[in-house]
Structure formats: C-alpha cells, structure tokens
Amino acid sequence: MAAIRQAVVAEDQPFVESEELRGLIAAGAERGYLTFEEIASTLEEVEVTKEQVSELHSHLVEQGHKAIAHIMGPPITHAKRRADGYKAALKELGARTRAEWIVRAGFMEADGYRAAKKLLSVKPRIDAIFATNDPTAIGAMKAIWDAGLRVPDDIAIVGAGDIALGDLLRVPLTTVSWSRDEQGKLAAKLLLDQIGPEPSDQFRSVVIPPHLIVRRSSAGE
C-alpha cells in the first residue's frame, strides 16, 4: 500500500504525503484493500496554471472589468500558485493590481463570504473577483447579494473546479474546469500500474489541461 503515492496534477512538484493519505494507507494495509473512493479522495486537484488564469483574466478584461480582486486560499501550494498566476496574468495584460484586492481565505463558502465582505469595503469598489475555488466563489456571490449588489452587473465572479450543479445556481458560475473522466481514467491507470507485476514507488505526475467554462456570473445574459 505504500506504493499508492501518485497524483493527477498539472505541474511536476515534489510529493508530500498528507495525514489523510498516510491514514488510508495504514487502513488499507490492515484490511488488504482500499476502495476507489478512498483513493480518489487523496488525489491532488489539477492546478490552475498561469496560462489558464491569464485566459480567465482576459475574459474579464474583455467584459470591461478593471478592478479584478482575488480571494486566495489557505497557505498551501495550490492556493499560492493560483495567487501567483493572478498577479502574473494581470501584469501580462497590463492591468493594475492593488494589495487590498487580495484577501486570504479558506476553501469553504463561509470563507468566501467573509473575504468578499472585506473586498466590498475597498474603495473604489472592485468589479470582478477570481475565487480560489467554486465554494468560495459561491460564498462571495452571497456576500454581494446581501450587500444589495448584482452578479455580474456590479461584480463578476469566477471560480475554479466546476463543482456539481454550478450551472444550476441562481446565477450560473463561470469556472475553470478539467475533464473528470480523464482524471478518473488516469487515476485508475496509475493505481493499476502500482498493483501490477512490477509496481513502482516513484511519484509520477500527469498533466490534465484545465479550460474556462463561461457562464452568467461573468458574462451577463
């Protein structure tokens, strides 16, 4: 079971085992197997690269947005890369940035809500938010509505992850996504490689390119 040390990610990065993964490996070793759901739960999320962040910022700039804020995730690698991509993309587009346009948060709706409340206090007001993931984007939308503002008319919102039912929200959410089918197939292949006749303990990363799904939260009607 110690050989289950592979993830479907977008950049080749040193692998760090999580407590969750170590716990699952120990449980699997004791009973002799791990379920697919358990294995899938340990896979790192595909990273949103600078290129994809640039694509979504180009989309927001094309929609006329000039004050684009970022709700940053907790101090972990993925969140930092997304924040770095946000800064690099805006610089590449020649768009301005301000320190108060970046608010650190978590990955939950409540985190996005609190972060958006802070951003709404910035003057002059921001007109777009790139959230670190879809739940924080949904929380941000709630904060905007509670402030009596409209999405996307007053403030556009973009998330990442393409969560289930994201297209059925009161305002369907624009998001950065990737192929779940491809991720599942590659995860299964990596696992089968590990239980084959010549398993390897070497970490491998596999790139699945993300893509932007434009919905009403950033594009209007």
Closest CA to 179 of 155, 213, 152: 213
- Indicate the pTM of the whole model: 0.70
Measured distance CA(163)–CA(48) in Å, rounded: 15
CB-based contacts of 109, cutoff 8 Å, min separation 6: 135, 136, 138, 139, 142
Segment 35-45 mean pLDDT: 46
Measured distance CA(56)–CA(186) in Å, rounded: 26
Measured distance CA(95)–CA(62) in Å, rounded: 12
State whether residue 50 is helix, strand or coil.
helix
- For the chain, what are the domain ranges? 7-46+180-207, 50-177+212-219
Cβ–Cβ under 8 Å, residues 184 and 37: no
Q: What is the pLDDT of residues 43-101, one digit of tens each?
A: 444 455 555 567 777 888 888 899 999 999 888 877 787 888 888 888 888 888 899 99
Measured distance CA(72)–CA(133) in Å, rounded: 9
**CA 144, 124, 173, 149 torsion-angle sign:** positive
Q: What is the pLDDT of residues 161-185, one digit of tens each?
A: 888 777 778 899 999 887 667 667 7
State whether residue 205 is helix, strand or coil.
strand
**Residue 19 CB-density burial (10 A; 0-12 exposed, 13-18 middle, 19+ buried):** exposed
**Higher-confidence residue: 53 or 114?**
114
Q: Does domain 50-177+212-219 have CATH number 3.90.25.10?
A: no
- Give CB contacts under 8 A, 24+ apart, made by 43-46: 43/7, 43/8, 43/183, 43/187, 44/7, 44/8, 44/9, 44/78, 45/9, 45/78, 45/161, 46/8, 46/9, 46/10, 46/178, 46/183, 46/208, 46/210
